[in-house]
Structure 1
Amino acid sequence: MNDIVMRMTDGPLLTLTLTEPGRANPLSPEMATALTAALEGAAIDPGIRAVILTGAGKHFSAGADLAALELLAEGGSAETNLADSRRLEELFAVLLAHPKLTVAAVHGAAIAGGCGLATACDFVVAEPSSRFCYTEVKIGFIPALVSTFLTRRVPGHVARRLMLDPEMLDGSKALELGLVDELADEGEALDRAKDLALSICSKASPSALAATKALMNRTIGMGWREALAVA
């Protein structure tokens, strides 16, 4: 396992920690590749019931790798940009379709792609001082991939405001808007995320949980008649 993502197993829980704290755990191509591999491994491990995502150091994830963006701005090829985007697309797809329970434990900043990573999980636990913001339009980018998860979590008018008029949200405001499912005490997001995962897994069989997640992914956005037919 690439040490850019630390893997720690505690009984049925797998904690995956982004370990580039000096750069606020950016979603670099290398990070996306390593995290995708770790998630794919967890998906086929019968001993793992839930995956917790968190970041080392002061922040969850500051999103895109600014160094990579600077290289792109200085003349990086369209092919390289597309390949990097595909890596992120694959990461988010694997996370969204994951058969195990997924919980993000957010402390510090979850910015842009970091918001996407958190909101692609089944549940988000954050601390009051956590900070969430979709900053893409500020730096001339489109919140393309992350919009997929934002619009599944919050009403359309809220998503529109967050993406077009970026505002830094603390944990309490993120909870109010629906980005966050639960606030933990300061410094306790990871422990609370583990407790939540254990509680949910104790009440559901692995196969039923996986099938329910798959059904929700399949029927979201369908009309009620079509959804009933699928169910």
Structure 2
Amino acid sequence: MIARIFIFIILATLLPDLYVYRRYIRHRFDLSLLMRLLWWVPGAAMVAVTLVYAMIDDFAPANLTLFNIYLFMLGLIVVPKLLFVLSSIAGRGVRRMTRGTRNWGNYFGLLLVLGLLYVLFTGSMTGTDHLRVRRVTVRVPDLPKSFDGYRIVQFSDIHLGSMRSELLERAVEQMNRQRPDMIAFTGDIQNMRPDELTRHTSTLRRLHAKDGVYSVLGNHD
């Protein structure tokens, strides 16, 4: 998987580091050589790990825990710097066109970074604990009257490899509580490997609908 986009990841890692170093670090004479070198350490580490994963023949590595940590670090280290640099460059362009004296793109970039970090941490720590049932009424012209009030529960992208058993049990309970006529699963039941389903099989078997439970495979399945 990483082999397909590793060049983009490396460029997205190194180019923002180079931009920030040239614009804000290189001319800081009060910084020691060690402090200047430390700036490159996180990016160099991400490039090294990216190259390791790019050389793996399988679509996904065997140790998904380490791989998930790598993806988290991409969101923590690489993406924030990329967003800031893109905003900064755009701000420089606006400043030149308006002949302004301040690069507002830097401030906007900092806001984007703070928003990204908020989403990253809340999504990975607390966001996965929330379940919400959305009820949507679909009106279909010329639908046979026998389908009037037909209730379909649709769910997708549960990615069982990173889903806690307690949360899945709550989800199954919520779905059954809707008394559905049909349950439709619409993709990405696993992260990478079919064996992720093994420990959840007994829970998924508790799904019940009058006309059955159906599944459409996603790009991870």
TM range (shorter): under 0.3
- Give the TM-score of the pair, scaled to structure 2: 0.27
Bigger share in helix: 2
Q: In terms of Rg, which structure is larger?
A: 2
Bigger share in strand: 1
